[in-house]
């Protein structure tokens, strides 16, 4: 029985709405030809079955377009939708098993209490409800069924997790762990890294020799012509004539017409650039051509102009250390490698318990800084993952941490301040509720495992493949 009886005594409007929706939903959909002749079971759950028709209906109701499904067939989208349908079916079986019910009137009140269907005075409006259904391509029975299923499942979850409250002493302990103040000493390691200017010429040469293949630099020779309305059609207007000629140029490129012939045919001026390597000082056009250098002949749009270009030569060369740009880039690479090696050596010492309090003091000297971290969420100085790691380690231990700018620090955990916990604090209340939610979720996860043992789920792979074929 429909909820229309409870929503509105005038059934004429509802009847019209249903007719409209039947027209909208009664035709088309995915796999119509297949379904008319095939009702095979795709999943068997104990004594219950999910048919291919059930899955197709579920797909139709999901709102996922046929194109999206086609594009994701190889990403197991059909299997994922089927899994969702199986989960829903299992929950519905549990609702039935526990004899959980909800009245039509309760559902009606649920709809009537939805503020989306209220006027400015907070009064339920049938027309708003009908408009919502039409805008979302939903029939009233389908919407009401979904609502009923959702409310029944909520009742089921409430039943399963009823009375679940975490022990206060445990919550208090966890709250203390996350909110106690941690005192640390730390050393900014950038003071110990080798600077660019400290790298010797021999180090530079050795690094290049060891990494020559990876350090080779691309050099290109290329031609290009800037195309705009002025030099193509003689006026400063992007009109249809201009774009027609751009189309002609693109077609010429596709048909194998040479760069030189296109330049001649359209009376364009070109520029020849030789021995070019990437430079931040280059103009945007040259940077773009270098970026797409592996595609040797093409046209592209940039800065409200078109550019036609031709790569004449591409050559890889060993880096020239007399080139200041290349030299500086390699020096930066060496500096990064030195940082990495320094950090790795420190971590190896810490890991092997070979880094002591004396080592920390001797390394830092007067450069050792102190900091109080207020909680596991306090990322004012260091990034949040580093903070979480600090709170997970024992006191008097050492570790490397970083800030948001990826600067690296050597830290030592000193001690925690005592937390004078006020159980009336709003933060504690929120934390308690969060932990309660976590416990309920854990119970539901356990319940999910129980369902897997309670119900024997058998899947018909042939039927799945048949449905996949509908979308290919």
Token pair belonging to 62: 């999901």
Half-sphere exposure at residue 389, Cβ-oriented, CA atoms within 13 angstroms: 15
Largest CA distance in the chain: 93
**pLDDT (0 to 100) of residue 19:** 27
Residue 203: closest CA among 318, 327, 323: 327
Give the helix/strand (H/E) hosting 378. none
Q: Which residues pair with 411 in a beta bridge?
A: 186, 399
pLDDT digits (tens, 9 = 90+) for 287-340: 999 999 999 999 999 988 999 999 999 999 988 888 888 888 899 999 999 999
Residue 104 CB partners (closer than 8 Å, separation 6+): 1, 3, 5, 6
Phi and psi at 124, nearest 5°, equal: -60, 135
Cα–Cα distances in Å, from 240 out to 229, 233, 339? 10, 11, 57
Per-residue pLDDT of the chain (472 residues; tens, 9 = 90+): 334 433 443 333 333 232 222 323 333 333 333 333 345 789 998 888 999 888 988 888 887 888 888 888 888 899 989 888 888 888 888 888 878 888 888 888 888 888 888 988 889 898 988 888 888 888 888 888 888 888 887 777 777 665 555 555 555 656 666 667 899 999 999 989 988 888 889 999 899 888 988 888 899 999 999 999 999 999 989 999 999 999 999 999 999 999 999 999 999 999 999 999 998 888 999 999 999 999 999 999 998 899 999 999 999 998 888 888 888 889 999 999 999 999 999 999 999 999 999 999 999 999 999 999 988 888 999 999 999 999 889 999 999 999 999 899 999 999 988 665 555 566 666 666 666 666 666 666 667 677 777 888 888 888 888 888 888 7
What is the SS3 assignment for 349? helix
Please report the pLDDT score of residue 175 as a whole number: 62
3-state secondary structure of 41: strand
- Please give the Cα distance from 387 to 407 (Å, whole number): 14
For residue 235, give both structure tokens.
Answer: 């006026």
Give the residue among 321, 357, 112 at the shortest CA–CA distance from 217.
321
What pLDDT shows up at residue 18? Answer: 27
Q: Identify the pLDDT of residue 22.
A: 30
Q: What is the CA radius of gyration of the chain?
A: 35
Cα 213 versus chain centre, distance: 35
N residues, the chain: 472
CA distances from 338 to 121, 355, 364, 368, 471 (A): 70, 20, 19, 22, 55
**Strand boundaries in 249-379, DSSP class E:** 271-276, 297-302, 305-317, 369-373
DSSP structure class, residue 379: -
What is the Cα–Cα distance from 117 to 135, expressed in whole angstroms? Answer: 13
- E strand or H helix at 139, and its extent? none
Q: What are the respective helix, strand and coil percentages of the chain, to the nearest 5?
A: 55, 15, 30
Secondary structure element (H or E) that encloses residue 119, with its range: none
Closest of 235, 225, 305 to residue 266, by C-alpha:
225
List beta partners, residue 51.
41
State how far the Cα of 114 lies from the Cα of 112, in Å rounded to an integer. 5
pLDDT digits (tens, 9 = 90+) for 206-250: 998 889 888 888 999 999 999 999 999 999 899 999 999 999 999
Contact assessment for residue 373 and residue 182, using Cβ atoms and an 8 Å cutoff:
yes
Query: What CA–CA distance (Å, rounded) separates 203 from 210?
Result: 10
Q: Which tokens hold the place of 42?
A: 């795709």
CB 428 within 8 A of CB 421: yes
Burial of residue 67, with CB atoms counted within 10 A of its CB: 0-12 exposed, 13-18 middle, 19 or more buried: exposed
Torsion region of 162: left, alpha or beta (phi above 0 gives left; psi -120 to 50 gives alpha): beta
pLDDT at 100: 84
d(CA 184, CA 182): 6
């Amino acid at each position: 029985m429909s909820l229309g009886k409870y929503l509105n005594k005038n059934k004429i409007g509802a009847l019209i709405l249903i007719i409209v929706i039947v027209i909208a939903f009664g035709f088309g959909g995915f796999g119509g030809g297949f379904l008319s002749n095939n009702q095979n079971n795709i999943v068997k759950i104990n004594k219950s079955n999910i048919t291919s028709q059930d899955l197709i209906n579920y797909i139709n109701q999901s709102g996922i377009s046929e194109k999206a499904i086609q594009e994701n067939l190889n990403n197991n989208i059909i299997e994922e939708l089927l899994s969702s349908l199986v989960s829903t079916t299992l929950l519905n079986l549990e609702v039935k098993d526990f004899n959980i019910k909800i009245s039509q009137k309760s559902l009606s009140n649920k709809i009537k209490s939805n503020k989306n269907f209220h006027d400015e005075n907070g009064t339920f409006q049938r027309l708003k409800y009908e408009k919502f259904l039409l805008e979302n391509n939903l029939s009233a029975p389908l919407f009401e069924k979904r609502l009923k299923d959702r409310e029944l499942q909520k009742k089921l979850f409430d039943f399963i997790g009823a009375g679940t409250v975490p022990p206060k002493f445990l919550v208090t302990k966890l709250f203390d762990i996350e909110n106690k103040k941690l005192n640390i000493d730390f050393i900014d390691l950038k003071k110990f890294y080798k600077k660019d200017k400290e790298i010797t010429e021999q180090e530079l040469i050795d690094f290049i020799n060891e990494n020559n293949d990876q350090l080779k630099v691309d050099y290109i020779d290329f031609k290009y012509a800037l195309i705009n309305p002025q030099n193509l059609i003689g006026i400063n207007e992007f009109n249809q004539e201009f774009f027609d000629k751009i189309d002609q140029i693109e077609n010429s490129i596709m048909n194998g017409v040479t760069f030189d012939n296109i330049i001649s045919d359209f009376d364009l001026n070109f520029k020849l650039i030789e021995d070019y390597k990437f430079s931040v000082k280059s103009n945007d056009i040259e940077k773009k051509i270098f970026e797409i250098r592996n595609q040797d002949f093409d046209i592209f749009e940039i800065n409200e102009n078109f550019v036609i270009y031709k790569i004449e030569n591409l050559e890889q060369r060993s880096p020239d250390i007399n080139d200041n740009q290349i030299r500086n880039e390699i020096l930066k690479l060496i500096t990064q490698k030195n940082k990495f090696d320094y950090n790795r050596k420190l971590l190896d010492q810490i890991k092997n318990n070979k880094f002591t309090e004396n080592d920390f003091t001797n390394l830092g000297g007067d450069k050792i800084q102190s900091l109080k971290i207020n909680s596991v969420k306090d990322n004012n100085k260091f990034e949040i993952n580093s903070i979480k790691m600090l709170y997970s380690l024992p006191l008097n231990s050492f570790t490397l941490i970083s800030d948001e700018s990826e600067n690296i620090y050597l830290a030592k955990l000193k001690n925690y301040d005592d937390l004078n916990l006020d159980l009336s604090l709003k933060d504690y209340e929120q934390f308690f509720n969060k932990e309660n939610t976590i416990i309920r979720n854990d119970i539901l996860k356990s319940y999910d495992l129980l369902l897997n043992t309670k119900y024997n789920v058998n899947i018909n792979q042939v039927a799945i493949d048949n449905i996949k074929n509908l979308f290919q």
